[in-house]
Amino acid sequence: MKVEVIMPKMGESLQEGTILKWHKKPGDRVQKDEILLEISTDKVDTEIPSPASGILTEILYKENETVAVGTVIAYIETEAVTETTPKFVDVKPVEKVEEIKVVEKEIESPVLEEIPARAKRFYSPVVREIAKREGISIEELEKIPGTGHGGRLTKNDLLNYIETRKKKVEVKPIEFEEIKIEEAKPVSDPEGKVEIIEMSHVLKAMAEHMVRSVRTSPHVSAISECDMTEIMAFIEKNSDEFQKREGFKLTLTPFIADAVVRALKDFPMINSSVDGDKIIIKKFINLGIAVATDYGLIVPVVKNADEKNFIGLARAINDIVTRARAKKLTPDDVQGGTFSITNYGVFGNIIGTPIINQPQVAILGVGAVKKRPVVITRNDEDFIAIRSISFLTLTFDHRIIDGALGGRFLERVVYYLENFDFKGIV
């Protein structure tokens, strides 16, 4: 029998995916759950397993083509009756069509009503919603170049167009002699002394996100010293026993996460976002943990971190880090964060000024833990001692967080780390 390979829906708000790489070619045999292809969405790159065992007979869409969810992208010929969708994706093609139609009916917009039944190209519900919000007419929409399959307009195409349009401002003509500026020429190197590399989808998305963040929030950073001596000694003493019991290494990250959760409960304004002239304070804590992978930096999220004890945090962090590096994350795994942590100390860096992960209003950077001679005071006497010290950096949105609030929050994180309660960890 012929089994359809469907472009899966990897998140509630996602309506399309881009095929990055086919791991098989027509005529190849493939086993059920074997990696068949890799796809990219606006949020994350993901490996897609084969829905059945058999022969890959036909590939309908090539690499780098963008396809709507629910679309048949390939066929597998098999004699066995098998499940037609990956286990972790709840996708039914018929339901996809009905779902899209319902969404379109719910959107009432003059822009959408102007789109004829036989439009020149397909517009996804996401594109339609953005067009409605930005007041873009059908005539204007039709003129925007699309990079999707068959010239279809993607979400990123429309967002880039809107961003470019906002930058265009009227200027008065220059009265003096016109200044001639040499037009930028494409990079070329006949002697082969440069290498030109195409950005990956993840890198492009991250670059756009970082530029948008700097443009959105006035960034301010505060830095504090933190004495990690007791924590590092605890890790060294208990790492073997912890790994035997849990199956993964005990690292500094869950200690940082635990201290951050406690401090966020004390200073809820740090766990917020800005919507126009309104501040939205979140009553839940979703921690973003920056992870360096072979395909770029990604920030998966530990949901409801405030409901987890130390062991729960450690398990959740290990799970998302492992899946991030194995390309097993879904778009939902990287959405909904309320505060982020980035540990550039793993590369030996001692101080950094991280960029806020929008729409959050703060991010904590953790520097390398190094032994340093420091002055400590005990019984009103000063001593020089060797201690394990790390520099913590809090970058925050100065629109709603001033230096006093940011500084107090950072010092509270330091306090919880320097006075950590190790009960119940081993």
Which residues carry out catalysis?
398, 402
Q: Beta partners for 74? A: 5, 59
What is the chain's Cα-based Rg?
Answer: 26
Through-space distance between the first and last CA atoms of the chain, rounded to whole angstroms:
54
What does the CA dihedral 330, 335, 337, 343 come to, rounded to 10 degrees?
50
Q: Which amino acid is at 266?
A: D
- Residue 372 CA to residue 367 CA, distance in Å, equals 14
Largest CA distance in the chain: 83
Cβ 16 vs Cβ 68: under 8 Å: yes
Q: Is the dihedral of CA 180, 186, 188, 193 positive or negative?
A: positive
| Separation between Cα atoms, residue 272 and residue 209, nearest integer Å | 18
Q: Is the dihedral of CA 89, 90, 93, 97 positive or negative?
A: negative
Q: For residue 17, how far is the Cα from the chain centroid? A: 16
